[in-house]
């Protein structure tokens, strides 16, 4: 054997030996209390590192460690931390019992009528709040998130459907509805820069889906004054127990002290001073001398104003890294009851492998806050078994097996055909009341037929009429889709038949890109924003002798496209040709005749003139729009680019040109419009504000007909669908302009800040709303509306006043509906 071969053998032997020495083994076990009951979600770390795992809801844990001597630490709020050393040579079982932390008041003296000692402790924590909030400039960590939601009770039937079969529940109508896991690399730098890259994703029963877990959604920092803004839990924020003004909202009680790793930890009960304040209830743990938060076990309930759920528990535990304390796990646990459906669940995030104050390279943080690649959901069961830091419970393991098996079966043509055969059955109720759907999920084709009862309407131009359409949708890979809708309309009084087809193809979700085409003829509203729905107009016309909307007929061809040019910058371009015809009333039928009312003509500017409003004409126009959102952040997925809610306004610039002589067009004008708007600007405890301001000018109006005027979203009806840009007393048509204008709308929602303090009203969870609408143009200068009211879910009532150049012109109630 020559020297080279000997050297190769030696290298191979050394490599194999080192591989054996570096081999990892599994240490697993169960963590219980002194009574043998499992302790859920205990943090288990390798001592001296930030590498660790968490126990699951049943107290089971599993961690991979290197061969040799390993020391594990077991910590959770409310129990004494424990440390165990073990010499690992193979897969090992290591169970651990934790002793309940004994919090005593032996050394605490509380004088009669004196202040509870907890107040001094909390005041010190408040003094140090800002310092601890700002002490970590940047960090990165691995984040594992698991979410589970389950039904624990449900009615036998809901809207005629068998709940057990529909939701695939057990005989007691219990079962997991949603189970997902994800792993991410998360980075943060002050003041609000974040970057997250999802490494793996898994959803029970949906092998090809991507989890919507987001580490930034799981961040909560009780050193901040206000928490959970824009979380969907409530329209208001919630006050931290150690906020600067916390003493105004909270009562505190010291439950005891204990010694832990050389620190004295205070267990403090927090409760609201007023039952319905937006505050937490529960326990916080604060260390003496340093006055740090060491853990939380806090609840939000319906009394605090949370929606949809009954109770939300937020439990947070920290791990010490150098001189800092960072979250090791954070759990949101919830339960509720909606329409007899009793549910519970949790989302837990586990943090490991921290790097405090890393040096991020220039340009590391971008507007892309989360990136999900195609490989994320391709990890197999072996990968998850080795990398999952929180073991599955037996219930969760069975759910994966069951639903993943069903998911594979559901992809087969045989199964889908059998399902569609049952679902596509034709019934009289579907065709009359709801809608008839014919689905072919194997080929991803879907047909929806309009319900007949919703297709019948009445107006004074067409009389009783019917408008019927069919929607076709074809779904392609990566969230691309084609949408085609043919529809026809016929008026029995004026005997006019119109029909058109509109198509929309969303061809690049990552660039938010689409093309559209429409052609045919239609009966259109003279106000291009629309005045009211066909159903609302039918009721107003037949029952109240009010024919507000005015119509005309147009034969048209429209082609459009839109696409993202850069992050936050969206562009659209459309070309429209139409041949326009004025219409007149053809019937004055009504069910109830009011002596002091008469129907008006179809001429909105001359209500007593039945002559056609304008001569027939042709119009060709091109419209270009640029929309830019300042500071827009986004999530990248293989099948979409998702914009997140922006902190700054959205700006829109639109230019519309009437092309005289092109395709027979008879209009010549140039209109430019600028808008700035933003909705739901959070103001903490005071609710949120929304606004829009817009201005426009016809640079040229040489040849212009009324349908091309700049119209506004007016309202003449007492019942109307709300819209931030909608006036409440302005005529639909009278003040449309062909010159210039400026409009502004501001609305503030106090989100119960006032009414929540009134005992008889607070249970209704009403939201107080105030607003201002403003318009000025050459023929309507300084028109202003003021209104105030209340709303709840999809209904609202308000009272308002309208002023024309300082003179009051109208006032009254308005009822809004949003469905």
Task: From 306, 335, 366, give the residue that closes a domain.
Answer: 306
Residue 322 lies in a domain: no
pLDDT digits (tens, 9 = 90+) for 644-688: 888 899 999 999 999 999 999 999 999 999 999 999 998 888 889
Up-side HSE of residue 569: CA atoms within 13 Å toward CB? 3
pLDDT digits (tens, 9 = 90+) for 114-172: 789 999 999 999 999 999 999 999 999 999 999 999 988 888 877 666 676 667 777 77
Q: Rounded to whole angstroms, how far apart are CA atoms 395 and 392?
A: 8
Domain identity same for 9 and 120: no
CB 581 within 8 A of CB 554: yes
**Structural domain span for residue 302:** 103-135+234-306
CA distances from 286 to 108, 270, 295, 328, 684 (A): 16, 12, 8, 17, 25
Task: From 265, 284, 306, give the residue that closes a domain.
Answer: 306
16 pLDDT exceeds 60?
A: no
Quick one: average pLDDT of 761-773?
Answer: 89
Q: Rounded to whole angstroms, how far apart are CA atoms 715 and 731?
A: 6
Domain identity same for 108 and 46: no
Domain identity same for 702 and 813: yes
Q: Rounded to whole angstroms, how far apart are CA atoms 486 and 385?
A: 51
The pLDDT confidence band at residue 308, using thresholds 50, 70 and 90, is confident
Domain identity same for 699 and 777: yes
Average pLDDT, the chain: 89
6 pLDDT exceeds 80?
A: no
Residue 82: strand pairing partners: 74
Residue 502: strand pairing partners: 485, 518
Residue 470: strand pairing partners: 449
Strands (E), 191-237: 193-203, 226-227
Domain identity same for 80 and 121: no
Number of domains the chain contains: 3
The percent of residues in the chain predicted with pLDDT above 70, rounded, is 94
pLDDT value of position 412: 67
pLDDT digits (tens, 9 = 90+) for 484-537: 999 999 999 999 999 999 999 999 999 999 999 999 999 999 999 999 999 999
The pLDDT confidence band at residue 111, using thresholds 50, 70 and 90, is low
Domain identity same for 691 and 733: yes
Domain identity same for 9 and 116: no
Domain identity same for 679 and 793: yes
What are the φ/ψ torsions at residue 642 (nearest 5 degrees)? -110, 120
pLDDT value of position 4: 47
> Residue 229, SS3?
coil
pLDDT digits (tens, 9 = 90+) for 685-719: 888 999 999 999 999 999 999 999 999 999 988 88
CB 236 within 8 A of CB 279: no
pLDDT digits (tens, 9 = 90+) for 26-57: 999 999 999 999 999 999 999 988 899 999 99
Quick one: average pLDDT of 364-381?
Answer: 91
pLDDT value of position 304: 87
Domain identity same for 21 and 71: yes
Residue 262 lies in a domain: yes
pLDDT value of position 411: 67
CA distances from 580 to 614, 615, 706 (A): 9, 9, 11
CB 367 within 8 A of CB 632: yes
pLDDT digits (tens, 9 = 90+) for 432-460: 888 888 888 788 899 999 999 999 999 99
Domain identity same for 128 and 28: no
pLDDT digits (tens, 9 = 90+) for 391-443: 999 999 998 888 887 777 766 677 666 667 767 777 787 788 888 888 887 88
Residue 160 lies in a domain: no
> Residue 291, SS3?
coil
What are the φ/ψ torsions at residue 530 (nearest 5 degrees)? 80, 150
Residue 579 lies in a domain: no
């Amino acid at each position: 054997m020559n020297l080279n071969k000997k050297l190769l053998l030696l290298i191979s032997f050394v490599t194999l030996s080192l591989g054996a020495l570096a081999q990892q083994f599994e240490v697993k076990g169960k963590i219980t209390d002194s009574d043998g009951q499992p302790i859920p979600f205990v943090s288990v770390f390798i001592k001296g590192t930030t590498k660790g795992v968490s126990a699951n809801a049943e107290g089971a844990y599993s961690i991979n460690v290197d061969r040799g001597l390993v020391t594990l630490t077991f910590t959770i709020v409310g129990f004494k931390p424990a440390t165990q050393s073990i010499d690992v040579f193979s897969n090992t079982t290591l169970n651990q019992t934790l002793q309940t932390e004994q919090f005593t008041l032996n050394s605490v003296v509380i004088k009669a009528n004196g202040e509870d000692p907890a107040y001094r402790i909390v005041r010190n924590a408040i003094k140090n709040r800002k310092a601890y909030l700002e002490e970590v400039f940047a960090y990165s960590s691995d984040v594992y998130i698991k979410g589970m939601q389950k039904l624990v009770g449900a009615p036998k039937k809901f809207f005629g459907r068998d709940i057990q079969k529909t939701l695939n529940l057990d005989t007691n109508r219990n079962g997991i509805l949603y189970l997902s896991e994800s792993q991410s690399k998360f980075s943060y730098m002050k003041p609000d820069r974040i970057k997250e890259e999802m490494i793996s994703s898994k959803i029970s029963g949906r092998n090809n889906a991507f989890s919507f877990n987001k580490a930034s959604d799981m961040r909560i920092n009780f050193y901040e004054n206000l928490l959970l803004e824009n979380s969907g839990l409530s329209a208001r924020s919630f006050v931290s127990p150690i906020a600067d003004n916390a003493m105004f909202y909270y009562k505190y009680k010291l439950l005891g002290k204990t010694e832990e790793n050389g620190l004295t930890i205070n267990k403090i009960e927090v409760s609201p001073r007023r039952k319905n304040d937006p505050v937490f209830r529960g326990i916080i743990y604060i260390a003496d001398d340093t006055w740090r938060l060491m853990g939380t076990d806090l609840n939000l309930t319906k009394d605090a104003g949370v929606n949809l759920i009954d109770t939300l528990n937020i439990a947070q535990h920290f791990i010490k890294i150098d001189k800092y304390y960072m979250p090791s796990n954070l759990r949101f646990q919830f339960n509720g009851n909606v329409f007899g459906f009793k549910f519970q669940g949790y989302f837990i995030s586990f943090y490991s492998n921290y790097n405090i104050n890393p040096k991020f390279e220039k340009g590391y943080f971008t507007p892309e806050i989360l990136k999900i690649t195609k490989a994320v959901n391709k990890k197999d069961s072996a990968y998850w078994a080795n990398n999952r830091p929180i073991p599955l419970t037996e219930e969760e393991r069975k759910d994966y097996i069951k639903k993943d098996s069903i998911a594979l079966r559901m992809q087969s043509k045989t199964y889908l055909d059998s399902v569609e055969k049952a679902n596509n059955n034709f019934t009289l109720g579907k065709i009359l009341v709801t809608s008839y759907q014919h689905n072919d999920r194997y080929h991803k084709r879907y047909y929806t037929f309009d319900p007949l009862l919703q297709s019948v309407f009445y107006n004074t131009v067409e009389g009783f009429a019917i408008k019927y359409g069919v929607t076709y949708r074809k779904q392609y890979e990566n969230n691309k889709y084609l949408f085609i809708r043919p529809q026809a309309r016929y008026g029995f009084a004026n005997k006019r038949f119109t029909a058109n087809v509109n198509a929309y193809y969303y061809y690049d979700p990552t660039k938010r890109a689409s093309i559209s085409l429409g052609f045919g003829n239609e009966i259109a509203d003279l106000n291009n924003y629309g005045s009211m729905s066909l159903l609302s107009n039918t009721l107003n016309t037949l029952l109240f002798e009010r024919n507000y909307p005015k119509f005309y007929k147009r034969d048209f061809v429209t082609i459009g496209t839109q696409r993202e040019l850069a992050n936050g910058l969206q562009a659209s371009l459309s070309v429209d040709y139409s041949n326009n015809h004025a219409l007149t009333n053809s019937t004055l039928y009504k069910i109830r005749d009011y002596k002091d009312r008469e129907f008006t003509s179809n001429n909105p500017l001359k209500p007593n003139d039945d002559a056609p409003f304008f001569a027939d004409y042709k119009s060709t126009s091109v419209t270009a729009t640029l929309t830019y959102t300042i500071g827009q952040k986004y999530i990248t997925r293989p099948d979409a680019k998702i914009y997140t809610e922006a902190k700054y306004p959205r700006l829109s610039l639109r230019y519309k040109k009437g092309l005289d002589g092109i395709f027979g067009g008879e209009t010549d004008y140039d209109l430019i419009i600028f808008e700035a708007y933003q909705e739901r600007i959070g103001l903490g405890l005071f609710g949120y504000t929304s606004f829009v301001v817009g201005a426009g000018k016809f640079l040229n109006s040489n040849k212009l007909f009324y349908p091309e005027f700049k119209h506004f979203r007016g309202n003449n009806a007492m019942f109307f669908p709300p819209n931030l840009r909608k006036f409440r007393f302005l005529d639909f048509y009278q003040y449309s302009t062909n010159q210039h204008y400026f409009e502004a709308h501001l609305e503030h929602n106090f989100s119960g800040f006032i009414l929540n303090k009134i005992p008889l009203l607070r249970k209704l969870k009403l939201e107080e709303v105030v607003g201002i609408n403003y318009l000025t143009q050459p023929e309507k200068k300084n028109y202003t509306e003021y209104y105030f009211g209340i709303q709840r879910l999809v209904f609202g009532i308000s009272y308002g006043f309208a002023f024309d150049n300082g003179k009051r012109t109208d006032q009254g109630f308005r009822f809004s509906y949003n469905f």
